């Protein structure tokens, strides 16, 4: 399998769909459906996902799909695309950046391709297995920050699942008092891409889905960083929680999140 070739084809696709999303936001009436508490989908999410899936079927016919809006549910035996057509739908609805397209390819149980296209700044972050990580053609790497104290940290606020809110608020207080600051952008895929290129030093969030994190996770790993669940294990794709950092702060940051969030 030529992961590099696949990745470049997905980048082209993501950019094309990104321009469609941008034009729809400018020119169309946005019809909003409510999937759950504070959980929304628009006709643009669904149309974008359908376009992505149709093109990916041509790129890799044998692959199945794990897609947020469920426009295709057939899963493959070996290959599966993991897709979020608009990560940051609430931002999109309000005309606020960032929002991003997130597309990853999983071969058996390993992520092998990841693309995050952030629409607002026309930035395409991408990586393939053992190929390094890139932003618009340039190599990227995670930061070299050595301590949590010197880190800029990203997170996401709970919006449907508040069962772990006490621990989360404790973590917020800790990082407010013991880091350079916290940011909440509203798009986990973008947060992860920003860790990969060193804009953020660390990111953590719970109640995330595979399509939120899959592409960003492999981009971070190929950029020299680390990802794990809150216990330090590998169940970040389907375990609904993720830590992502550079390698210098990984152990310190993981220990804080594990203590406060578990």
Alpha helices by DSSP H, listed for the chain, are 3-27, 43-59, 89-93, 165-178, 188-196, 210-222, 250-261
Say what the pLDDT of residue 70 is.
Answer: 80
Shortest CA distance to 95 belongs to which of 41, 30, 46, 25? 25
- Residue 123 pLDDT > 90: yes
Q: Is-same-fold flag (3-139; 148-261)? A: no
- Residue 38 pLDDT > 60: no
Q: Can you tell me the mean pLDDT for 112-125?
A: 98
The SS3 of residue 84 is: strand
Shortest CA distance to 218 belongs to which of 117, 120, 106? 106
Q: What is the pLDDT of residues 225-257, one digit of tens each?
A: 999 999 999 999 999 999 999 999 999 999 999
Q: What is the pLDDT of residues 66-90, one digit of tens each?
A: 998 887 778 989 999 999 999 999 9
Q: Are 241 and 138 in contact (CB under 8 A)?
A: no
Say what the pLDDT of residue 39 is.
Answer: 63
Q: What is the pLDDT of residues 47-57, one digit of tens each?
A: 999 999 999 99
Instruction: Report the predicted TM-score, pTM, of the whole model to 2 decimal places.
Output: 0.95
Q: Give the integer Cα–Cα distance in Å for 163 and 207.
A: 10
Say what the pLDDT of residue 175 is.
Answer: 98
What residue ranges do the domains of the chain occupy? 3-139, 148-261
Chosen CATH of 3-139 out of 3.30.540.10, 1.20.1740.10, 3.40.50.1970, 3.40.50.2020: 3.30.540.10
- Residue 36 pLDDT > 80: no
Say what the pLDDT of residue 10 is.
Answer: 98
**CATH 3.40.190.80, domain 148-261, yes or no:** yes
């Amino acid at each position: 399998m030529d992961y590099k070739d696949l990745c470049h084809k997905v980048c082209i696709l993501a950019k094309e769909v990104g321009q469609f999303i941008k034009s729809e936001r400018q020119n169309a009436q946005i019809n909003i459906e409510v999937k759950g508490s504070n959980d929304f989908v628009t006709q643009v999410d669904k149309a974008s996902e359908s376009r992505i899936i149709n093109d990916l079927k041509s790129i890799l016919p044998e692959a199945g799909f794990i897609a947020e809006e469920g426009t295709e549910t057939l899963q493959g035996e070996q290959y599966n695309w993991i897709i979020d057509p608009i990560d940051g739908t609430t931002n999109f609805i309000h005309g606020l950046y960032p929002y991003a397209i997130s597309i990853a390819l999983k071969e058996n149980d390993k992520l092998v391709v990841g693309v995050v296209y952030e629409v607002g700044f026309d930035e395409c972050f991408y990586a393939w297995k053992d190929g390094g990580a890139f932003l618009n053609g340039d190599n990227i790497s995670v930061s070299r920050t050595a301590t949590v104290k010197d880190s800029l940290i990203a997170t996401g606020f709970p919006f449907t699942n508040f069962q772990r809110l006490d621990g989360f608020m404790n973590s917020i207080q800790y990082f407010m008092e013991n880091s350079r600051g916290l940011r909440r952008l509203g798009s986990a895929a973008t947060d992860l891409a920003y860790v990969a290129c060193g804009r953020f030093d660390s990111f953590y969030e719970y109640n995330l889905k595979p399509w939120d994190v899959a592409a960003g996770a492999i981009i971070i790993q190929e950029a020299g960083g680390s990802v794990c669940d809150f216990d330090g294990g590998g169940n970040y794709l389907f375990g609904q929680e993720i830590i992502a950092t550079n390698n210098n702060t990984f152990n310190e940051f993981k220990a804080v999140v594990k203590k406060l969030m578990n």
